[in-house]
Amino acid sequence: MKLDGLELRRITLPLTAPFRTSFGTEHTRDVLLLRVQGPDGEGWGECVAMAGPYYSSEHVTGAAEVIRRFLLPALAGDVDAHTAEQRMGRVRGHRMAKSAVLMAVLDAQLRMAGMSWGGYLGATRDRVPAGVSVGIMDSVPQLLDAVDGYLAEGYLRIKLKIEPGWDLAPVAAVRERFGDIALQVDANTAYSLSDARHLARLDPFGLLLIEQPLPEEDIRGHAELARRISTPICLDESIVSARAAADAISLGAAAVVNIKPGRVGGYLEARRIHDVCAAHGVPVWAGGMLETGLGRAANVALAALPGFTLPGDTSASRRYYARDITDPFTLDDGHLAVPTGPGLGVSPDLDFLEQITTHREWLAVPATA
């Protein structure tokens, strides 16, 4: 396929409620959207990098600059998702930037071929079970109200964000009030190995998993922690590639893996991680980065692959935004439907996009890589 150019667009979307994690509080989502355009069609991508480099080392303004300066040449000449991925491999890191470019290229490619995202990746289901990630709150009663509301909407699994000082009490309160619901926690690297005895006090609550208790680079620490607590350890931040997944699994650091395409450089690498985990019998689930309907469409399709045996952080649009940029994803009996149309199967509302656009630029693809 031939591509003429890439449009970068920044939009600001207010979150329906502040989302607090151990690395900060988000009030709005500042999203970088990409649109590749060629003579035969277009494709959309969403960059999951956040406003600041607190979840991982990337941030949205940096990602835009990397795309502009270093990734754009990968789109020269005859290109598809695999060639673009290979050419971008020359750039070290910057996986969220690469993932956004690859998403736009793959969307264009699949729209032209009339193939759906799920069909291309190997989805085996037409709907996926939805979980919800619940931020740190000011008080336990406020948390119980939030969880109560999500359970009433039909969410099939609750994830509580935790940090030192907000862990045992909220977990105990949610267990006491709601009983035997599917419950897990996410620490976003807020602990150290010296907290092992404290974290072992979560064991009696029968959590599905504890997500990323220790720093990104600390694979050995997670393996050691796994010997000291009975809650299964799931890695998020640490799993930056299929190779990292294979290493973490063989070292005993990951009993479960959270797969986020942005974090690993795109949907092709995400599928490789799925395959590596499946080969090892390690369950995976689809993480989220507060995506708009574009990223959500792709994540929901990914979550329909056979190895995704746990509910993902693939919540309905209204959990995040009063108005999404695509037709909203809705919860039906605790599930989201996998889009079936060509490419992502959803398209942004261009009039609404104009209203929330803060910056827009057109980049012509150079003649040669």
- 26 binding Mg ion? (CB under 5 A): no
CA distance 231 to 58: 30
- 236 binding Mg ion? (CB under 5 A): yes
- Residue 44 and residue 35 in contact, taking contact as beta carbons nearer than 8 Å: yes
Reduce the DSSP state of residue 345 to 3 states and report it: coil
Question: Residue with the closest Cβ to Mg ion?
Answer: 236
Q: How many CB atoms lie within 10 A of CB 311?
A: 25
Minimum CB separation of residue 49 from Mg ion in Å reads 15
Query: Which residue's CB is nearer to Mg ion, number 236 or number 269?
Result: 236
- 287 binding ligand OSB? (CB under 6 A): yes
x/- track of binding to ligand OSB for residues 117-146 (CB under 6 A): ----------------x-------------
- Residue 130 and residue 331 in contact, taking contact as beta carbons nearer than 8 Å: yes
Assign 3-class secondary structure to 212-225: CCCCCCCHHHHHHH
Query: Which residue's CB is nearer to ligand OSB, number 109 or number 292?
Result: 292
- 58 binding Mg ion? (CB under 5 A): no
Tell me which of 118, 288, 311, 343 binds ligand OSB, using CB under 6 A.
Answer: 288
CA distance 131 to 241: 24
Q: How many residues appear in the chain?
A: 369
Task: Map the footprint of ligand OSB across residues 213-272, applying CB under 6 A.
Answer: 236
CA distance 2 to 352: 29
In the chain, alpha helices (H)? 60-66, 81-88, 95-113, 117-121, 140-153, 168-178, 196-199, 219-228, 242-251, 261-264, 267-280, 293-302, 350-356
CA 160 from chain center: how many Å? Answer: 16
Of these partners, Mg ion, ligand OSB, none, which one is at the site of residue 313 (CB under 5 to 8 Å by kind)? Answer: ligand OSB
Task: Map the footprint of ligand OSB across residues 32-71, applying CB under 6 A.
Answer: 55
CA distance 226 to 223: 5
Half-sphere exposure in the Cβ direction for 26 (13 Å, CA) = 27
Catalytic one among 2, 98, 159, 161? 161
Query: Which residue's CB is nearer to ligand OSB, number 81 or number 130?
Result: 130
Reduce the DSSP state of residue 69 to 3 states and report it: helix
Give the interface segment with Mg ion, choosing from 10-18, 205-213, 274-282, 347-355 (CB under 5 A).
Answer: 205-213
- Residue 237 and residue 257 in contact, taking contact as beta carbons nearer than 8 Å: no
2 is catalytic: no
159 is catalytic: no
Give the interface segment with ligand OSB, choosing from 60-68, 105-113, 138-146, 285-293 (CB under 6 A).
Answer: 285-293
x/- track of binding to ligand OSB for residues 314-333 (CB under 6 A): -x------------------
CA distance 361 to 32: 11
For residue 328, what is the DSSP state? Answer: P
Of these partners, ligand OSB, Mg ion, none, which one is at the site of residue 324 (CB under 5 to 8 Å by kind)? Answer: none
Query: Which residue's CB is nearer to Mg ion, number 290 or number 294?
Result: 290
Catalytic one among 2, 98, 159, 260? 260
- 186 binding Mg ion? (CB under 5 A): yes
Q: How far apart are the first and last CA of the chain?
A: 15
Tell me which of 22, 99, 188, 238 binds ligand OSB, using CB under 6 A.
Answer: 188
CA distance 101 to 132: 27
- 290 binding ligand OSB? (CB under 6 A): yes
Give the interface segment with ligand OSB, choosing from 37-45, 196-204, 221-229, 282-290 (CB under 6 A).
Answer: 282-290
Q: Which residues bind ligand OSB (CB under 6 A)?
A: 55, 133, 186, 188, 236, 287-290, 313, 315
Q: Which residues bind Mg ion (CB under 5 A)?
A: 186, 211, 236
Active site residues: 161, 260
